[in-house]
Structure 1
């Protein structure tokens, strides 16, 4: 069915909140993409990889948002997460291109989101 698409019905929001991220294969993809020196792929291949990374970036961003929202207002990690999420929103709004540069940009975005996610899941820093 060319041009067809399916609408996902998720009224409880389970996809954003309760399914664990499949982190390892995406981190491997990010590592591989960022190691590219002079790839020679078809534009459609770059687009497919960028779509995969974009979808995963949105899922990680949802986790970052959920964890940041649960933090007390006095925890600076939440404010930093909001900055990262605003930047993420802007970068994801950029149109996909069938280029290695576009794919690498999405890979760097996924990597930065995972860095922020990891910081949110660490114990809060001690205050003096």
Structure 2
């Protein structure tokens, strides 16, 4: 499990997307019936991974000021901080919200790491 509320291990974590399948599964739920403690454990895993992804996005934000990707990354990081400040709850809704956050961070990280198109 990757529960690291103080962000002590995120700098050493290889982000090979082990939680992508979990995110996909959680977002596909239509009427889950797990115990509250199971929802809490999944939410903690996704929270820890969201923190690690946010740290990776932060490391990639050091882009030139004229690069719009940096501004968009700042927006997602502010939203991430706001959403992670809300305590986890033992509900499917909470888990799905954390999964959406991880998915948004994956998307932002992909955009930050893709090369800019060459200009003619």
Which residue does the alignment assign to 1:109?
Answer: 101
User: Please, what TM-score do these two structures have when normalized by structure 1?
Assistant: 0.83
Which residue does the alignment assign to 2:3?
Answer: none
Shift of 1:72: 0.9
Aligned Cα root-mean-square deviation (Å): 1.6
Which runs of 5 or more structure 2 residues have no equivalent in the other structure?
Answer: 1-5
1:16 aligns with 2:44: no
Shift of 1:22: 3.5
Which runs of 5 or more structure 1 residues have no equivalent in the other structure?
Answer: 1-7
User: Structure 1 residues 18 and 48, CA, compared in 2 at 3 Å: closer, same or farther?
Assistant: closer
SS state of the match for residue 72, structure 2? helix
Conserved 8 A contact 2:26-2:95: yes
Structure 1 stretches (4+) deviating beyond 2 angstroms? 15-19, 125-128
- Structure number with bigger Rg: 1
Shift of 1:85: 0.2
Shift of 1:126: 4.3
Within a 5 Å distance, the mapping from 1:43-122 to structure 2 comes to: 43-69=36-62, 71-122=63-114
Task: Output the CA distance in 1 between the equivalents of 2:23 and 2:85.
Answer: 20
